[in-house]
Amino acid sequence: MMNKNNQTPETISSPEKREQETEIISGSEILIRSLIAEGADTLFGYPGGAIMPVFDALYDHKHEIKHILVRHEQGAVHAAQGYARVSQKVGVALVTSGPGATNTITGITDAMMDSTPMVVISGQVASSLLGSDAFQEADVIGVTQPITKWVYQIRRVEDIAWAVSKAFYIASSGRPGPVVLDIAKDAQVNKCAYSYQKTIFLRSYLPEPEIEDDQIRMAADLINNAKKPLALVGHGVVLGNAEEELRAFLEKADIPFGSTILGLSAMPTDHPLNFGMLGMHGNVAPNMMTNQCDVLIAIGMRFDDRVTGDLNTYAKQAKVIHFDIDPAEINKNVKTTVKVSGNAKKTLPMVIALLKEQSHAAWLSEFKPYEQKEFDCIIKNELYPENGGEIKMGEVVHKVTEATHNKAVCVTDVGQHQMMSTRYFKFTESRSMVTSGGLGTMGFGLPAGIGAKYGAPERTVCIFVGDGGLQMTMQELGTIMEYDIDVKIILLNNNYLGMVRQWQELFFDERYSETHLKNPDFIKVADAYNIKGRKVTQRSELDEAIAEMLAHKGAYLLEVVVETKGMVYPMIPSGGSVTNILLGNGNKL
């Protein structure tokens, strides 16, 4: 059991400072002051019995730290995620014990999968009651340990300050992730001396592995000798704030690249070396070229199965260079020729220094026919349909991104509309793509969009949702109403759980088992929450409705009735080879 008395090997602190600030206050007051000391300015939360002392302390700090009262604890964690993803800061959620804490599980798992820095603080029954099946007691530590970077149960008031300090350090350093602090009620109420020291070192935890010079040299050699290099850009670039370094790296060696879903906004969409998204519904060119390149350079990505498809046929011809901050990712899925361990912000410049300026014009020209094929077979009809008919998801996304001059934050839920958003939304700045990548959490979009607006208040936030996912966390319309949160909600309504329906059409003999939805009148629902809404069924209204939405001050729900049986193409069937790409409508590569 660690406590304040033996923290010296863990945290380095200044004795002078400690004496100055000693003051006897309650655990709840300590918690709030510690959060403020860590720079937290916004909490997303929901009160309840075992966290009431903290909410009481919050009452005195309204002007220093904002609290957003969500309508369900799942909303609090997704909002904290959205906040963290756009802002480079740690998202914070504050909930009560038992059901309050268990309602956060999905969001915590989502943050773990997508390496999102977040601290979730849950109340817990008094320490004397622990293990007695007390009212609203749940084994939060046991439940959250496998889905967090770190968890700690605070049973003594003396442990609050250092545990908060440790939690923020762990959540935000190295490969970021969620941390849970479970605070017993008596620790919130009892008093002790308060002083705060930031954690800057833990002997058991090395946030960034040591950079090895020979790895840098070997990587540079491989790239300098490559004739057909291809880079895969992942979330690690964004998390490491290494966008400029990445750009310099790609441009110096003239390396074409594709991005994972979470890496999408690291580079501008219109960059000449950018060939789009990787994976199951990604662009044809980077997927096809994965199996034609001679050197594959993965940067801050983890070779998820949705990116690689069948590993037995994935990039077998290529030498693989893997840049990653997490040593456990190296050789996890794909055998690596050269690993470059460390933060890409530091390793990329070291490699750049050894790179020759290159031009790969001939290699780049090999991408063009695939781009053209994808445009002709899929994109053209999705974005610019000529023959009338139902509105398509892609064209809505396209019109919204154009109307925002590609400067908005794109938040999505999960499903077909998500893939259409990631395929067709365009980016001009980083931290503009907020989506549930690894876990694929329906219900993520609306609350994550709320958090994103608090994380980037000056930016336009567009939330794309489907009719299924919206109804999973629709109660957060109440939060939007209460705080007058200016988010633009674009509901792409096909009256189906569209992605499951697509799989049923392709792989289950068109047996549409439990995917059709009888939906409410969404505009009336929005109206009940005093949110302006408009339903569009005709293509001719679309431009004007989007303009109205963007010009409106405050939240807006734009419901667009889209093609009921639309399909997301291209598609690599699950478990298939990365080059086994379905184009739909009888088209073949």
Partner 1 sequence: MEENKTLYTITIFSENTVGVLNQITTIFTRRQLNIETLSVSPSAIKGIHKFTITTFSDDENVMKKLVSLIDKRVDILKAYYNTNEDLVHQELALYKLSTEKVLAHGSIEYLVRKYNVRILEVSTDCVVFLKAGHYEETQGLFEELAESIGVLQFVRSGRIAITKSKVERLSDMLAKRERENQEKWGNA
Binding stretches for partner 1 (CB under 8 A): 1-2, 6, 9, 12, 14, 141-142, 145-146, 149-151, 153, 170, 200-206, 326-328, 330-332
Count the neighbouring beta carbons within 10 Å of the beta carbon of residue 522.
21
CB of 329 to partner 1, least distance (A): 9
- 342: three-class secondary structure by DSSP: coil
- Closer residue to partner 1 (CB): 42 or 153: 153
CB of 72 to partner 1, least distance (A): 27
- Closer residue to partner 1 (CB): 149 or 399: 149
Write the secondary structure of 436-471 as one string of H (helix), E (strand) and C (coil): CCCCCCCCCHHHHHHHHHHHCCCCCEEEEEEHHHHC
CB of 499 to partner 1, least distance (A): 26
Structural tokens at position 534: 């408009």
| Catalytic option among 185, 228, 392, 488 | 185
Task: For residues 232 and 324, give the distance between their C-alpha atoms in angstroms, rounded to a whole number.
Answer: 12
- 463, 446 contact by CB (below 8 A): yes
CB of 208 to partner 1, least distance (A): 12
| Catalytic option among 7, 88, 136, 358 | 136
Q: Phi and psi for 398 in degrees, rounded to 5? A: -60, -45
Using only the alpha carbons of the chain, give its radius of gyration.
25
Q: How far is CA 463 from the centre of its chain?
A: 14
- Closer residue to partner 1 (CB): 135 or 201: 201
Residue 526, amino acid: A
CB of 295 to partner 1, least distance (A): 23
Pairing of strands 150-154, 178-184: parallel
- 135: three-class secondary structure by DSSP: coil
Is residue 135 flagged as an active site residue? yes
Task: For residues 120 and 103, give the distance between their C-alpha atoms in angstroms, rounded to a whole number.
Answer: 12
- Closer residue to partner 1 (CB): 9 or 457: 9
CB of 2 to partner 1, least distance (A): 6
CB of 215 to partner 1, least distance (A): 16
**H-type alpha helices, 88-212:** 99-102, 105-113, 140-144, 160-172, 185-189
- Closer residue to partner 1 (CB): 139 or 251: 139
Is residue 185 flagged as an active site residue? yes
- 411, 452 contact by CB (below 8 A): yes
DSSP run (H or E) holding 79: helix 73-87
Residue 166's closest CA among 177, 179, 184, 176? 179
Structural tokens at position 184: 């017993």
Is residue 73 flagged as an active site residue? yes
Pairing of strands 191-193, 556-561: unpaired
| Catalytic option among 2, 21, 64, 135 | 135
Q: Phi and psi for 489 in degrees, rounded to 5? A: -100, 120
- 94, 44 contact by CB (below 8 A): yes
| Catalytic option among 29, 38, 73, 329 | 73
| Catalytic option among 289, 499, 549, 571 | 499
- Closer residue to partner 1 (CB): 5 or 538: 5
- Closer residue to partner 1 (CB): 327 or 576: 327
Catalytic residues: 73, 135-136, 185, 499
